[in-house]
Amino acid sequence: MADSLQGLALRQNRRVKKVPTARRRSASRPAARKDQSAPASPARERLPLAALRMFAAVAARCSFSEAAEALHLSTAAVSMQIKTLEDYLQVRLLRRTPQGAELTAEGERLMPYVQRGLDELEQGFRMVRAERSGGVLVVSMLSSFLNSWLTARLPDFFASHPDIDLRMQCTTALADFSRSDVHVAIRMGRGNWPRLHAEKLFDEFLVPLCTPQLLERHGTLDGQRSTAGYPLVHSSSEPWEMWIEGCAYSSDRWPERGAAFDDSVAVLSAAAHGQGLVLSRWSLAQSFLASGQLVRASSAAIPYGLNCHFVCSPAYLEIQKVQLFRQWLLRHAAAMPLP
């Protein structure tokens, strides 16, 4: 009896199909979910980003020790990171010299890409950190624009947007949005600044102005190119050659003779004190005309050639406070009378 039962069990075991170990394991647990997101590039995951920052610092200063001091690291730590980058690229990027360090040919080729990449990263960080609707808004502009155009209109902006704190920086230098806290710049130009959003606020014109007393003494000008014996007050950025010769603006010019100013508002103030006839930008003369300190010596007006623009990084257009300031500027610019 025992023998017959044992034989039956053996026959049943032969009918059971053996499952390979690997298949049994896979069948015993649920299938892994497929990741729907795109995998990160293995090469990008291995990028020596810290070394790139140090490479840029050494290249800018031509010195390992000065770069280390600027980065608050030891010179040995900076050297090690540069070696890491060179090992990664399998090329030499920097060469030590008695004076410090210099870029190799490969380093020269790489440097513009590294600097551009670091600038874009920094700009991205600034945009993410920026408060979206309120808080500080940094605006760069010429002092002449602030004093003669913007200041009188600011109370309306503050009343409409009390949550936005304007920080106005006056400078003639173009704003570097990737390396500064500036959100918006207001600049005179032709609007062709590369990789920036530039939007014209208004066309600029030049008009001859003087005090009412001088106008009564010398009379109105007989059309363009005439100065009718007026004493002239000169501005380097609005040269009288543009009126007399009908030439376009190319660069600031100083006159051969006579008093001259490099400040477009100061020259208006000089004219308001009776010093002579001034050729002024129309946008800057509004308060002097409204107060009666100055009057137009001619009904003619000539295009300046450079116009007033709202300028910012394209990425900053997504920030609400930038948009609010932009819309406010456009509204006030559209309301300004033409000459």
The whole-chain average pLDDT of the chain stands at 84
Please tell me the total number of residues recorded for the chain in this structure: 339
Average pLDDT over residues 136-152: 95
Contacting residues for 131 by C-beta, under 8 A, at least 6 apart: 321
Alpha carbon distance 300, 302 (integer Å): 7
Of the given ranges (100-109, 158-167, 216-225, 243-252), which has the lowest mean pLDDT? 243-252
> pLDDT band at 42, cuts 50/70/90?
low
Average pLDDT over residues 124-140: 73
Instruction: Please return the burial class of 236, using the count of CB atoms within 10 Å of its CB with bins 0-12, 13-18 and 19+.
Output: middle
pLDDT at 50 over 90: no
pLDDT for 44 equals 55
Chain centroid to Cα 268, Å, comes to: 30
Q: CA dist 276 to 203, 269, 290, 300, Å?
A: 26, 11, 19, 18
Which domains does the chain show, CATH number per domain?
46-128 (1.10.10.10), 130-203+306-335 (3.40.190.10), 205-303 (3.40.190.10)
Task: Give the global pTM.
Answer: 0.65
Least confident of 54-68, 131-145, 309-323, 324-338: 131-145
Contact call for residues 236 and 253 (beta carbons, < 8 A): yes
Please state, in angstroms and rounded to a whole number, the distance separating the CA atoms of residues 57 and 72: 12
Q: How confident is the model at residue 30 (pLDDT cuts 50, 70, 90)?
A: very low
How high is the pLDDT of residue 32? Answer: 43
Which stretch of 32-36, 253-257, 272-276, 284-288 has the lowest confidence by average pLDDT? 32-36
